[in-house]
Amino acid sequence: MLREVADLGHVCPRLEGEHRADLCIVGGGYLGLWTALEIKAAEPALEICIVEADICGGGASGRNSGMALPWWTKIEALIAQCSTQEGLRLANASVAAIDEITAFADAHKFDIEFARTGWLWGSTSPREDGRWAGIIEALERHGQAPFTELDRSGVQALVDAPGFRGGALDAACATLHPAKLVRGLRRVALERGITIFEDTAMTNLRRGNPALVETDAGQVLARRVVLAMNAWSTALPELDRGIFILTSDDAVSDPVPEFMEQHRWANGPILTDSAVFVSGYRPMADGRVSAGVSGGAIAFGHLGRTRWEGATPREGDIAAAFARGFGEGHGITFRHSWRGPIDRTRSGLPLFGPLPGHPNIHYGYGFSGNGIVGCRIGAQIMTSLVLERDDVWSNSGLVHPVEPWMPREPIRYIGAHMVRQAIRRQDHLDRLDRDAGPITRKLASLAPGGIVTTTTD
Ligand SMILES: Cc1cc2nc3c(=O)[nH]c(=O)nc-3n(C[C@H](O)[C@H](O)[C@H](O)COP(=O)(O)OP(=O)(O)OC[C@H]3O[C@@H](n4cnc5c(N)ncnc54)[C@H](O)[C@@H]3O)c2cc1C
């Protein structure tokens, strides 16, 4: 996705020598950029710099599927962790985040190919039928009804996707071009006087006040530091055990206007199944299909400079997932593919807070594959934490210590493979309408949170 954006020729300078700032943000994805913009708007005199190992958007923000989905599917985890009132406030904030994103892009005159398509959280096999029912009931108990349940004919009235047996439609969901969003945020950040160093990896963080962010060829001395490093956060021992990293893998087709017309999908909804390792697809503004699958590669230890560049080895899985929705004879060829890391927490909710013993260094990570709206909310939390405000954001239950949930290596790597294998097997058997054995079920139950979660820390 990133390579499709026009402004890539302009790379910000690499940090060389010493730089001083009031705030240094490590990571130039959605979280780092939104946080920089929020804090600069609140305190224009602050010197803010971002150090980004790649180019801004080179991480997940420039390579995601562009599905802006609110947090209704996480309602039980939100309520369990944050209280009923705060859980509902955050879920509503995630809906508002969609409007805020498009309003920001409009105000700053960059096109993010925003489309209010809605999302069908659907079923492509009998065992997936009604997997949304528990969440819908929980939402109804709290007076919320974002989803409309559809049977097969209801889905068919929306889009000719014959593999979908039914689903729950959230009409507020939207699609956007992920890389155009992150590059637009970068442009506005530069216009507002935020200093960005690209091709500048933090190699060491000297905790203290001021803190020292060391890089290959320089260092930033800063009173405050924000760590917005997504899956790369595991380089820090304090953050290492809070997430489980595995890739999601995406692909796009050429423009397929005839397919879009034939299937009445050009302005139609995001379609996902209800497997544990969810698959999904959406129409793009230029008539291409964007499709993706979760549950891919697993990292050993921390990612270091691994970026999982290049095509995904899972193009076959993506094509198979698409065929489950549109039938084997769909005729779509996926031309270009990629993958990127997902930072899954056990609960599926992100984590924010100060590093233990270092109130001037804050982390935000763990968006669990749901970071488009999540980072917009996350930036408001980070802003309140950094500016020491006493408000709903700094007091949110999402400000949470990191639970050392993942085991250390090599147990983590071995265990992760076993759990991933069990989930894949259970998803496969579900599609065949067959029961998995007790060991598979037990291992699959250890799955961390994703877009949908009913567990909590
Ligand atoms: C294939 C894929 C599909 C996805 N689909 C969706 C979707 O449809 N909807 C949705 O809501 N979410 C989706 N996500 C998740 C979403 O993209 C992320 O949650 C979101 O982009 C996280 O933003 P971030 O700023 O936290 O991380 P990132 O965008 O990854 O930014 C972190 C940045 O930190 C930099 N960095 C790391 N270590 C260092 C260091 N030591 N020094 C300097 N810089 C460093 C990285 O280079 C990176 O640019 C998807 C993710 C992937 C990979």
Assess whether the C-beta atom of 369 lies below 6 angstroms from ligand 1: yes
What's the one-letter identity of residue 397?
G
Statement: residue 457 has pLDDT above 70: no
Distance of alpha carbon 401 from the chain centroid = 20
Assess whether the C-beta atom of 67 lies below 6 angstroms from ligand 1: yes
- Across the range 346-364, mean pLDDT stands at 97
Q: Token pair for residue 274?
A: 């209800």
Cis peptide before 407 (omega within 30 of 0): no
Assess whether the C-beta atom of 70 lies below 6 angstroms from ligand 1: no
Q: Which atom of ligand 1 is nearest to the CA of 54?
A: 47
Residue spans of the domains in the chain: they are: 2-386, 411-444
Ligand 1: which residue has its CA nearest to atom 34?
Answer: 27
Assess whether the C-beta atom of 51 lies below 6 angstroms from ligand 1: yes
154 CA → ligand 1 middle, Å:
35
Q: What is the pLDDT of residue 114?
A: 98
Residue among 31, 56, 61, 117 whose CB has most ligand 1 atoms within 8 A, to mutate: 61
Residues 84-123: pLDDT tens digits? 999 999 999 999 999 999 999 999 999 999 999 999 999 9
Confidence of residue 456 (pLDDT cuts 50, 70, 90): very low
58 CA → ligand 1 middle, Å:
8
Ligand 1: which residue has its CA nearest to atom 16?
Answer: 371
Assess whether the C-beta atom of 451 lies below 6 angstroms from ligand 1: no
Q: Which residues contact 44 (CB under 8 A, 6 or more apart)?
A: 193
Q: What is the pLDDT of residue 8?
A: 83
Cis peptide before 210 (omega within 30 of 0): yes
Confidence of residue 453 (pLDDT cuts 50, 70, 90): low
Assess whether the C-beta atom of 345 lies below 6 angstroms from ligand 1: no
Assess whether the C-beta atom of 250 lies below 6 angstroms from ligand 1: yes
Share above pLDDT 90 across residues of the chain, in percent, rounded to a whole number:
91
> Exposure string (b/e) for 370-402, b if CB count within 10 Å is 16 or more?
bbbbbbbbbbbbbbbbbbeeeeebbebbbbbeb
Statement: residue 336 has pLDDT above 80: yes
Of the CA atoms within 13 Å of residue 129, those in its CB half-sphere come to: 9
12 CA → ligand 1 middle, Å:
19
* 305 vs 143: CA distance, rounded Å: 46
Residue among 101, 232, 290 whose CB has most ligand 1 atoms within 8 A, to mutate: 232
Assess whether the C-beta atom of 229 lies below 6 angstroms from ligand 1: yes
Assess whether the C-beta atom of 259 lies below 6 angstroms from ligand 1: no
Assess whether the C-beta atom of 53 lies below 6 angstroms from ligand 1: yes
* Architecture per CATH, 2-386: 3-Layer(bba) Sandwich (3.50)
Residues 56-90: pLDDT tens digits? 999 999 999 999 999 999 999 999 999 999 999 99
Q: What is the mean pLDDT of the chain?
A: 95
Angle 271-273-275 (CA atoms, 0-180°, nearest 5)?
Answer: 155
Please state whether the predicted TM-score (pTM) of the whole model is above 0.75: yes
SS3 category, 168: strand
